Structure 1
Amino acid sequence: MEKKMTKIDIITRTNKFEELKKGLNEIGITGMTVSQVLGCGMQKGFPEYYRGVPLEINLVPKIKVEIVVSEIPVDTVVEKAKEILKTGKIGDGKIFVFPVERVVRIRTGEENWDALQDK
């Protein structure tokens, strides 16, 4: 039976990244892809001034962390991320969970669960 693989995308404040990385490592997450992204949601940006002229900055800098899990339960990852990232203020971020059909490690040709193992 093929093991279930799940992709988890976490988009959050840039200043929370180091704490999130440490927390995910504590529960066994060893690999991740991290991107600096811009986005907006309920926050709708923030006002900024350039040479005394008010500008509305609609896209806020965020960090996007992408991980794929097969051994570690998805709920464990989601709960750990929520515990670390929740401030109760608009802009804490979002967590997206997706099923993964196939993973291929390019170097060795290993697929799926085998491709996710650290050797």
Structure 2
Amino acid sequence: MRKIEAIIKPFRLDAVKDALNGLGVTGMTISEVKGFGRQRGHKEVYRGTEYQVDFVAKVKVELVVAADMLDKVVAAIVAAANTNKVGDGKIFVLPLEAAVRIRTGEAGAAAI
């Protein structure tokens, strides 16, 4: 099993969700987050005054998939979230040792 964490632009969430549903991914967790990468935020003008916005609004998508689905899921996220602009985001893949469904006690792949 692998845990995937994808940081994407908020307006691409629906496209990513639809792409993952098309692959049969049954669950995910979404969080609204703020941060910055190479772009280091951006400048905005408010009432004639320019100011620096250091933390940019993003969406973090977390999901757990079987190892054999990893490449397909990552490719689907990349295709759906890509705008060819700075700040499209990142995908992190982590090994996952165990998963347990609290309600039934199922473990491993049966829990996801």
Question: TM-score scaled by structure 2?
Answer: 0.93
Tell me the residue number matched to 2:82: 86
Tell me the residue number matched to 1:110: 106
Give the fraction of aligned pairs with identical amino acids, expressed as a percent.
46
Tell me the residue number matched to 1:75: 71
- Measured in 2, the distance between the counterparts of 1:85 and 1:36 equals 16
Q: Supply the RMSD in Å over aligned alpha carbons.
A: 1.3
Matched position secondary structure for 1:55: strand
Question: TM-score scaled by structure 1?
Answer: 0.88
Matched position secondary structure for 1:10: strand
CA contact (8 A) 2:2 2:67 kept: no
Aligned residue pairs, count:
112
Matched position secondary structure for 2:111: helix
- Measured in 2, the distance between the counterparts of 1:92 and 1:17 equals 12
Tell me the residue number matched to 2:15: 19
Structure 1 segments (4+ residues) deviating >6 Å: none
CA contact (8 A) 1:28 1:72 kept: no
Matched position secondary structure for 1:88: coil
> Aligned letter for 2:98?
R
- Structure 2 unaligned segments of length 5 or more: list them: none
- Measured in 1, the distance between the counterparts of 2:57 and 2:43 equals 14
CA contact (8 A) 1:37 1:64 kept: yes
> Aligned letter for 1:70?
A
Shift of 1:98: 0.5
CA contact (8 A) 2:8 2:59 kept: yes
Tell me the residue number matched to 2:94: 98
Counterparts in 2 of 1:27 and 1:17: CA distance versus 1, 3 Å: same
Task: From 47, 65, 71, give the equivalent of 2:43.
Answer: 47
> Aligned letter for 2:40?
K
